[in-house]
Structure 1
Amino acid sequence: MTFQFTIFEEPLLEFRYEQALEDPHDGLYLFGPYDADLPSHPKKITYGVIGTENGIVLFEKWSEQVLNAPQISEPDKLKLWPPYPGFDVAFACEWPNKASWTYTLDEKELLKASRHRDEYTRTYGVVNIFMEAFEVLGKRDESFNVIVCIVPEEIYKNCRPKSRPDDVWGHRPTSKQIDDFKKGQVTLFEEFSSKEHWSTDKYKMSVDFRRQIKARALKYNIPIQIIRETTLSLKNRGDSNRRLTCLSDRAWNLSTALYYKAGGKPWKLASAREGVCYIGISFKRVGDANERTACCAAQMFLDTGDGIVFLGDKGPWYSPEKKQFELSKDAAYNLLSGILRTYEDLGGQELKELFIHCRSSINEEAFEGYKEACPDDVKLVCVRVRKERNDLKLYRPGKMPIIRGSFLKWDDKTGYLWGTGFKPRIGTYDGWEVPIPLRIQIQYGDSSIDQVARDIFSLTKLNYNACKLGDSEPVTIMFSDAVGEILVSNPKIKDRRPQFKFYI
């Protein structure tokens, strides 16, 4: 067997004045965002801040001293962490030092809620306190582009899966009682006689603070940005409690995310093929670990970088024997037709090619459903994309690992792509382990494995939640679990939004 090895050139991104560069730092610094001269470009961002008194003060200082001021990293790290020119220079947009509206949370009440023994009660209670602020916000006349939620470090540590808070209080139900609560059954036992426990809604929500607040804030139709208080440290590399990247890197990442969530488009793929869209399919198991029940979700990304989210059907999609998710024909049809219908409702243009990406293997029955939902004149290709940790590793002479963009063509349907590795643009490798490749396999449809791999490599540059040269995975796969968790782990949420910016 003969293998073909190629190193793809770093995909180019398009910025203002139709300028194309490979690094988003360079493009924003030199030319500004892609949408700077478009009618949709936000000239000034109106934002609100929710946090404790300390959190609000920290963010105001950060806005003035970091977001709106040039930042430079250590002299020997300038390629790794490029200088930050200030929000107005990078995005041709004003970020006011002071928020248009702030809401101060009671820190003692917040911390007490986060120390409850029951993980469902503590996360639900903490999010309830934030939701009080959103209720006030919803009664105001002015509109906001984005809401910033500043989170104390203890909230971050206590309100995650498997967290173990100190100084706990309150009662935790048994596993059997929790299962009953998830099914909507209540109890008359004395320990649950308070009004707080009569609602079983909290047991139908995620115990992860980020996922729950993202889900419950959807009804207000304003994207939110969650920031830990420790992230706002004005020390260049954080402190002894939490090591951070330098101020310039944090400023680039946070400002890019805020600009995108406020309605801006920092960049687009310069090499995007018109009429081509990419859909990432994700699954989330529901209920007991032994059950087959799972739910599916889809994230659609266009050649422009715009993203759309759609929640599919719940059903027996998980196979314990194969350890794979397999959709029925009807469920696959409903999932793809639903997201295509949402795309049309949002004014989507005519499609020519449609690529479905999934970590799990796509079974033939699901492909038949996708094919039936896909318009006859649109080319459909189904691709399995997953990190291959134990299958293949490549090394090269010297101290640096394999180059990012390396592609090993295994056969006409399969290849290995390295999204991580040595990056010539920054002159180093910014990872911590031996680079792991993506195994790319065309399972259905007719397409060149080289073209599929190049497209996937380009999609590693569409993460608007940070400002990076490129990620290890395409955006279709990288955010699929997070989006699925928000939608599936909070089934009580009815007010869903199709735009991707609400979920990252």
Structure 2
Amino acid sequence: MTDLPEVSLTTLFIDEPDLEFGHGQLLDHPKDGLYLYGPAGAPIAGSVVRVGVVGTAVGITDLKSWLARLNAGISVPVAGEREKTDRPHLSDFPGLREAYAITVDEKALVTCNLDLADIERTTTIANHHEAVAKTADLYVDAVVRHLRNEEAAVDVWLMVVPEIVHERCRSTGSGRKSQDLTPGEFAKKTKRREILPLFDGLLDTSAEDIFDDVPDFHRQMKAKLLVHAQPCQIIRETTIAPERHLDRLGRPKRGTQDPATVAWNLATALYYKSQSRPPWKVAGMREGVCYVGFVFKLIPNHRDHHACCAAQMFLSEGDGVVFRGANGPWYTEGKEFHLSKDAARGLIERVIETYRTKFGADPKELFIHGKTKFSPDEWDAFAEAAPSGTTITGVRIRPTSGDMKLFRDGDYPCIRGTAVVLGERDAFLWTSGYTPRLDTYMGPETPNPISVTILRSTGDIPSIAVVLSDILKLTKINYNSAAFADSLPVTVRFADKVGDVLVMGSAQDAERQPFKFYI
């Protein structure tokens, strides 16, 4: 038997990044930092968020009760006999004012009532595209009517949806036998089109616009409200009132997180979507550095397989902006997305221009994160778009699927922040794993790392340790929840969700919007 050569791998450990909260105080956990110090750049204590609600009478009543609980605070449930009594990954929710320095007056909401019978009618339309479009329009039209006819301003809209909307108005897994029609078939079914030269081209075909949107309620809501610059949060009735939705054995139909965790997540989204600054920011971010994530998504029903592209820009403050790029034939035969030189240059120029407008100077470093390599045309465009004082570095970030496993003490998941360095430009980084702060690993199986590769740079190649540290910091930016961290950096984590919204036909007029409108 031939002896295998010993292989020595370089490992390093990146400390858990700190977050900055009110009064410049630092902690590594959003929940603890908010409870002790309040949000970064906190509003005047007790600031009232103006909330608009669209839903059925029952849904609005449930939400009012839930908002009252948010103001009062919610404790973690007492552990059962088979559960750990010490559960550091769970935290009591102290109340909106105590954690976020805001309140919501549940008795003074802007309410738009929908008839459950109307929702039942639209969700059961035979054609799935039409059913989803008309159901989404029930909610969007209520918002638009308010914007046109009422003076009361709304900071954020909460869309409370019955469970039948979730069951029947999704693009996948809806459980219904959808009698979908193609665009041409839809026209034939809904009207008799006479083939007369005099009227050729003059018949109304606007109904076929519904095929420009994927039949998914959540994505259509975001896209339709995007053009009105109205942030919204979609809430299922089963989330805020699980006790009213029981199976035949008297148990809740769907499992939900404990009420305190739901409260943390909803309150974080409520704050982020209603305030000018996010509730926390990553501490110690290097000055003058900008991070950009590329987004590509195939346009539904496009005969030439064209795709939409966009860039997500994230700054040291943690907030982000989404830039819509050009639609085009970006999907290559190699099953990768690549922009033309002009499209790539235009997208990066808009990112740099926005940074310059905000800070009065060009960024010192601009990191572009993507899941694939960049083509020569793309890279040439990046280099040409970069001002003389800006270094652009391309980094590929990809999840792995079990090829690399690392254990601690032979049996336990490795600690989050562990990295195996393969070379000057390549490494595996465990963004998930055992977290000492939580005394647990929040996952069902041995964690997999992400693969990080520094592809190219217009200046000196940055240290792989610096790149890995930046990526770990970007896993702490998810303002849709108050979770400790994500397994992917924000530049990659929400790429699909942003793309899902941008490819919608109803979002075509949205060129640049804050990131909060997409999640």
TM exceeding 0.5: yes
Give the aligned partner of residue 359 of structure 1: 371
SS in 1 for 2:444: coil
> In the aligned structure 2, how far is the partner of 1:42 from the partner of 1:206?
41
Give the aligned partner of residue 214 of structure 2: 206
CA shift, 1:282, in A, is 1.2
2:492 equivalent among 477, 481, 484: 477
Q: Does structure 2 conserve the Cα–Cα contact (< 8 Å) formed by 1:297 and 1:311?
A: yes
Give the aligned partner of residue 413 of structure 2: 401
> In the aligned structure 2, how far is the partner of 1:249 from the partner of 1:492?
32
Give the aligned partner of residue 132 of structure 1: 141
Identity of aligned residues (%): 35
> In the aligned structure 2, how far is the partner of 1:14 from the partner of 1:464?
14
> In the aligned structure 2, how far is the partner of 1:230 from the partner of 1:348?
47
Give the aligned partner of residue 48 of structure 2: 44
Give the aligned partner of residue 465 of structure 1: 480
Give the aligned partner of residue 382 of structure 1: 394
Q: How many residues align?
A: 490
CA shift, 1:340, in A, is 2.7
Assess, with a 3 A threshold, how the Cα gap between structure 1 residues 315 and 152 changes in structure 2: closer, same or farther: same
> In the aligned structure 1, how far is the partner of 2:303 from the partner of 2:407?
40
Deviations 1:148-194 (A, max 9, x none): 001111101211113445587xx632xxx33x58xxxx84x354449
Question: 2:297 aligned with 1:281, yes or no?
Answer: no
Assess, with a 3 A threshold, how the Cα gap between structure 1 residues 488 and 345 changes in structure 2: closer, same or farther: farther
> In the aligned structure 1, how far is the partner of 2:471 from the partner of 2:314?
12
1:293 equivalent among 306, 316, 328: 306
Stretch deviating more after TM superposition (473-482 or 238-247):
238-247
> In the aligned structure 2, how far is the partner of 1:196 from the partner of 1:88?
53
Q: Does structure 2 conserve the Cα–Cα contact (< 8 Å) formed by 1:146 and 1:224?
A: yes
> In the aligned structure 2, how far is the partner of 1:190 from the partner of 1:211?
26
Q: Does structure 1 conserve the Cα–Cα contact (< 8 Å) formed by 2:413 and 2:447?
A: yes
> In the aligned structure 2, how far is the partner of 1:215 from the partner of 1:407?
38
Which runs of structure 2 are paired with 1:164-183 in the superposition (5 Å)?
164-166=174-176, 172-173=180-181, 177-178=182-183, 180=184
Stretch deviating more after TM superposition (153-162 or 448-457):
153-162
Give the aligned partner of residue 197 of structure 2: none
Assess, with a 3 A threshold, how the Cα gap between structure 1 residues 287 and 91 changes in structure 2: closer, same or farther: closer
Give the aligned partner of residue 166 of structure 2: 156
CA shift, 1:240, in A, is 3.2
SS in 2 for 1:324: coil
CA shift, 1:114, in A, is 1.3
> In the aligned structure 2, how far is the partner of 1:213 from the partner of 1:381?
35
Deviations 1:109-147 (A, max 9, x none): 112211223221111010111122112211211211101
Q: Does structure 2 conserve the Cα–Cα contact (< 8 Å) formed by 1:204 and 1:492?
A: no
Stretch deviating more after TM superposition (361-370 or 438-447):
361-370
The alignment's TM-score, normalised by the length of structure 1, stands at 0.91
Give the aligned partner of residue 456 of structure 2: 444
Which runs of structure 2 are paired with 1:245-264 in the superposition (5 Å)?
245-263=257-275, 264=277
Give the aligned partner of residue 119 of structure 2: 110
Question: 2:101 aligned with 1:101, yes or no?
Answer: no
Stretch deviating more after TM superposition (492-501 or 4-13):
492-501
CA shift, 1:486, in A, is 0.4
SS in 2 for 1:135: helix
SS in 2 for 1:220: coil
Assess, with a 3 A threshold, how the Cα gap between structure 1 residues 242 and 223 changes in structure 2: closer, same or farther: same
| One-letter amino acid of the counterpart of residue 403, structure 2 | D
Question: 2:71 aligned with 1:57, yes or no?
Answer: no
Q: Does structure 1 conserve the Cα–Cα contact (< 8 Å) formed by 2:53 and 2:112?
A: yes
CA shift, 1:336, in A, is 1.0
Deviations 1:13-68 (A, max 9, x none): 0111111000111100111111126x8x9822111110111110111010112443
Q: Does structure 2 conserve the Cα–Cα contact (< 8 Å) formed by 1:87 and 1:94?
A: yes
> In the aligned structure 1, how far is the partner of 2:411 from the partner of 2:477?
29
1:372 equivalent among 380, 384, 407: 384
CA shift, 1:368, in A, is 0.8
Question: 2:20 aligned with 1:9, yes or no?
Answer: no
> In the aligned structure 2, how far is the partner of 1:218 from the partner of 1:489?
11
Assess, with a 3 A threshold, how the Cα gap between structure 1 residues 371 and 402 changes in structure 2: closer, same or farther: same
| One-letter amino acid of the counterpart of residue 413, structure 1 | R
**Which residues of structure 2 form unaligned runs of 5+?**
1-6, 80-84, 194-202
> In the aligned structure 1, how far is the partner of 2:511 from the partner of 2:370?
22
Question: 2:315 aligned with 1:302, yes or no?
Answer: yes
| One-letter amino acid of the counterpart of residue 60, structure 1 | K
Q: Considering only CA atoms, is the larger Rg found in Structure 1 or Structure 2?
A: 2
CA shift, 1:227, in A, is 0.7
Q: Does structure 2 conserve the Cα–Cα contact (< 8 Å) formed by 1:385 and 1:440?
A: yes
2:343 equivalent among 321, 327, 331: 331
Give the aligned partner of residue 199 of structure 2: none
Give the aligned partner of residue 92 of structure 1: 101
| One-letter amino acid of the counterpart of residue 8, structure 1 | I
Question: 2:430 aligned with 1:412, yes or no?
Answer: no
Give the aligned partner of residue 266 of structure 1: 279
Deviations 1:425-472 (A, max 9, x none): 111111123212110101111211110011000000011110011000
| One-letter amino acid of the counterpart of residue 298, structure 2 | R
Q: Does structure 1 conserve the Cα–Cα contact (< 8 Å) formed by 2:223 and 2:506?
A: no
CA shift, 1:88, in A, is 0.4
CA shift, 1:72, in A, is 2.4
> In the aligned structure 2, how far is the partner of 1:287 from the partner of 1:502?
21
2:131 equivalent among 111, 117, 122: 122
CA RMSD of superposed structures (Å):
2.6
Assess, with a 3 A threshold, how the Cα gap between structure 1 residues 342 and 208 changes in structure 2: closer, same or farther: farther
